[in-house]
Amino acid sequence: MSDTVLSVRDLSVAFETRRGTLTAIDGVSFDIAKGEILGVVGESGAGKSVTGAAVIGLIDPPGRIAGGTITLRGERIDDLPPERMRRVRGRRIGMIFQDPLTSLDPLYRVGDQIVETIRTHTDLSQKAARARAIALLAEVGIPAPERRIDGYPHEFSGGMRQRVVIALALAAEPELIIADEPTTALDVSVQAQIITLLKRLCRDHGTAVMLVTHDMGVIAEAADRVAVMYSGRIAEIGPVADVVREPRHPYAAGLMGAIPTLTQSPGRLAQIPGSMPRLTAIPAGCAFHPRCPKVFSRCRVERPEPIPVGPSRVACHLFDAQENAA
């Protein structure tokens, strides 16, 4: 049996607007294996969160999945009826959102919310579901879970609320968790704790994780592989150590060059000129070419397809040209 939990092939997501059809995700493909954390990184507007929303079936009109397939353990899920997809969410795919205050109902005790999720997706009794909820709170590091289970969200700190959200995502023992910016609203020390927790839970439960973030530091610390997105496409995907230490795509190199290190001498950090293009103004050819320091004529007219470069896959004509020359 394959270890692949999630397989996305040629995924496209479009939004119908008064200006016409806008393509937010365009031909994205990747796999996530059992117990693996795939980091998805890029600037705001790159398409990271929309990709995660498509996987979990949360693209609402006027948005739609315009093409491609999404399979979970070999079962296609992108074309499921809404009611069947609702049963997949929570039971087989868990979700961790950026702000735990938007994920937790302030009017209900956290334990009631976890118990309801458990009972919705399992056959456990009320008593057994409560016992499992306490065990989950203990597993994610909530002190005195027997007492805190009856607390309301506002009685928890930001880091503790995020731990509750992680417990909620794990409630039905899903095969896949989509974590959308799970550390952005937290301070640095709590970020480190949440990253360590995610890694441990992924290892202990064998859960596949899609970790969406704009922070390359989080990716370097938490992920096994990383997909760098730009304008709705994957620019580079590969093992995190290779992409962090030796990024091939000029955009990935620009992201890494903008991160200060403890070893480099003081000076100006690398800067990527310009900004992510709007969906109404994505340029022809390679979408990154107006900002790329290595642009040449082919980049302006022909969109590059991902090709193998070492252990990674890179969508860049620089490497396609090298292969043709060889």
Contact 94, 166 (CB under 8 A): no
Say which residues have a Cβ less than 8 Å from residue 153's Cβ, sequence separation at least 6. Answer: 100, 101, 104, 105, 106, 110, 161, 164
Q: How far apart are the first and last CA of the chain?
A: 38
Helix (H) or strand (E) holding 41: strand 37-41
d(CA 169, CA 211): 13
Q: What is the pLDDT of residue 266?
A: 63
d(CA 307, CA 290): 21
List, by residue range, all CATH 3.40.50.300 domains of the chain. Answer: 4-92+172-263+270-325
**CATH code linked to domain 4-92+172-263+270-325:** 3.40.50.300
pLDDT, one tens digit for every residue, the chain (326 residues): 469 999 999 999 999 999 899 999 999 999 999 999 999 999 999 999 999 999 999 999 999 999 999 999 999 999 999 999 988 998 999 999 877 777 899 999 999 999 999 999 889 999 999 999 999 999 898 999 999 999 999 999 888 998 999 999 988 889 999 999 888 767 787 888 888 888 888 888 899 999 999 888 888 889 999 999 999 999 999 999 999 999 999 999 999 887 777 666 666 777 889 999 999 999 999 999 999 999 999 999 999 999 999 999 999 999 875 544 44
Q: What is the pLDDT of residue 236?
A: 97
Locus of tokens 């456990």 = 124
d(CA 326, CA 298): 18
CA distances from 75 to 8, 20, 34, 209 (A): 12, 32, 15, 18
d(CA 185, CA 175): 26
Contact 105, 113 (CB under 8 A): yes
> Sheet containing 4-17: which strands, arranged edge to edge?
20-33, 4-17, 63-72, 75-76
- DSSP string over 203-247: HHHT-EEEEEES-HHHHHHH-SEEEEEETTEEEEEEEHHHHHHS-
Question: What's at 112, amino acid-wise?
Answer: D
pTM of full prediction above 0.75: yes
Question: What's at 14, amino acid-wise?
Answer: A
Say which residues have a Cβ less than 8 Å from residue 262's Cβ, sequence separation at least 6. Answer: none
Q: What is the pLDDT of residue 303?
A: 94
Helix (H) or strand (E) holding 13: strand 4-17
